[in-house]
Amino acid sequence: MGFHPLKVFKRLKFSFGLFLVTEIIFFFRVFWFFFDMVLIPIVDLGCDWGLKRIILINPFGLPFFNTLLLLRRAFFLTWSHNRFLSLKNNILTLYLTIFLGVVFLSVQVVEYKRRFFSFSDRGLGTIFFMSTGFHGFHVFLGLNFLLFCLFLFVKKNFNFFHHLSFEISIIYWHFVDLVWLFLYIFVYWWSY
């Protein structure tokens, strides 16, 4: 039921905070690599990181649709949390969040199949597949966290005072959403 002593409760929050800091550092390094390749091209690559010979993905196509999905799923997850705190049934909004997350990953797979470049196409291919691939993996993890929370909601294992795993899942999900916004702005839109 999650009735942990306050000491355990604080350690769980602290541990998740440390995990989130490592995730922030990881994605900071990914974006650092991106900006290093874009702003300071390597001479060995001919001072070109691949934009001139690659047909880029239009940022106002599937990536924009994925961004709209992201905003909608963040809305539904926040709504689900608010309904839960208002002691109302939040399972439908949690289902919608999970469904939109699955649609997001499906659109990402379609985008991978439609791309005009590969992982080995200079710096852009490496950056694109590394950043979007790791983001997709984190979306998959976030979906698993939310599915676990949905399972706990169905079994009625959460109450108003003890639902730390749901709150941690929400924070993680919003972090992944924020990473996507940075990916969309820089890797898709700015590179285009």
Give per-residue pLDDT as tens, 92-103. Answer: 888 999 999 999
Angle at the Cα of 87 from the Cα atoms of 6 and 152, rounded to 5 degrees? 65
**Rounded Cα gap, residues 86 and 79, in angstroms:** 10
Q: Read off the tokens for 24.
A: 């922030």
What is the mean predicted confidence (pLDDT) over 145-163? 84
Class of domain 6-190 as given by CATH: mainly alpha
How is the chain split into domains, by residue range?
6-190
So what's the pLDDT on residue 171? Answer: 93
Q: How far lies 80's CA from each of 24, 73, 87, 183, in Å?
A: 25, 10, 11, 26
Average of per-residue pLDDT values in the chain: 84
CA dihedral defined by 70, 75, 78, 83, rounded to 10 degrees? -140
Question: What percent of the chain stands above pLDDT 90?
Answer: 38
pTM of the model: 0.83
Put residue 156 in one of left, alpha, beta given phi > 0 → left and psi -120 to 50 → alpha: left
Give per-residue pLDDT as tens, 25-80. Answer: 999 999 998 888 777 766 655 555 555 556 667 788 888 998 999 899 899 999 98
So what's the pLDDT on residue 56? Answer: 66
**Ranges 5-19, 20-34, 43-57, 107-121, most confident:** 20-34
pLDDT at 9 over 60: yes
**Rounded Cα gap, residues 148 and 176, in angstroms:** 17
Q: Is 122 exposed, middle or buried (0-12, 13-18, 19+ CB in 10 A)?
A: buried
